[in-house]
Amino acid sequence: MNRITAYIRQSLQEIYPPEEVKALSMLICCDMLGLDALDIYMGKDIILSECKQRELENIIFRLQKNEPIQYIRGVAEFCGRNFKVASGVLIPRPETAELVELIVEENSNARRLLDIGTGSGCIAISLDKKLPDAEVEAWDISEEALAIARKNNDALEARVRFLQRDVLADDWEKIPSFDVIVSNPPYVTEMEKNEMDANVLEWEPGLALFVPDEDPLRFYNRIVRLGSELLLPGGKLYFEINQVYGQETAHILEMNQYRDVRVIKDIFGKDRIVTANR
């Protein structure tokens, strides 16, 4: 272990688990400071320039404040691509990548797809890249999120059409026009805040995370009704969900005459996706 990795680990060991500290150390050295990975593995002693030393100290300071490394880097990996992220959008999760893969697997012939609550645009852009013959539209209420999504759209040479819309309040002409609607809406209740890690609670946008305890399925209820009007016959609706409300979400779909309702577990064995046919 050289002096740089020793300094990183010593600075972070009281905050992060050992394996995470080890991973952060390599990421900081190789990806953010541009050091040679072999030199790091071999324990070669490296002298940083004054500029690089200041950069390292700033990274450590931000990590000690529980800021997610993805926000510090400004990018997060999702479905094999790097997406720009900042504190105005959620950091993409592996479970959400499972949702994308399921949609692609089941809808190779889909022509029109809609992503509601797009955030960084990771779902919509990934679908656009994986289904090149389809048209993808994406909505979000946050102008800050849409600005980031459009940057990702340009950087990744995607063709997604982004619109600012409040799915709870907006009323527009509802003409059935989508084969697939997907949404990963806010689903964390206020009472669940105590169970959340500080780097999520203190840094990721509450607008994209939280719903009232007394109405935890408000977005699902609205989008299910909206899907009844916007989905073409035989169209499909896909949700990422709070694991606590899998059966309740499925019941909403069944009560609104959706067919083939499924609750699907994620890689961690938790109810995470609900899907149905119109």
The residue among 218, 216, 227, 236 whose CA lies nearest residue 256 is 227
Residue 186: CA count within 13 A, CB half-sphere: 24
Measured between alpha carbons, how far is 259 from 256 in angstroms, rounded to an integer? 9
Is 17 annotated as a binding-site member? no
Is 92 annotated as a binding-site member? no
Q: List 136's β-bridge partners, or say none.
A: 113
Residue whose tokens read 């016959």:
233
The residue among 43, 85, 200 whose CA lies nearest residue 25 is 43
Q: Is the dihedral of CA 24, 266, 168, 212 positive or negative?
A: negative
Is 186 annotated as a binding-site member? yes
* Residue 202 contacts residue 63 (beta carbons within 8 Å): no
Is 119 annotated as a binding-site member? yes
Is 184 annotated as a binding-site member? yes
**Both tokens of residue 249?**
């979400």
Is 220 annotated as a binding-site member? no
Is 133 annotated as a binding-site member? no
Is 117 annotated as a binding-site member? yes
Which residues does the annotation place in the binding site for substrate? 184-187
Which residues does the annotation place in the binding site? 117-121, 140, 184-187
Which residues does the annotation place in the binding site for S-adenosyl-L-methionine? 117-121, 140, 184
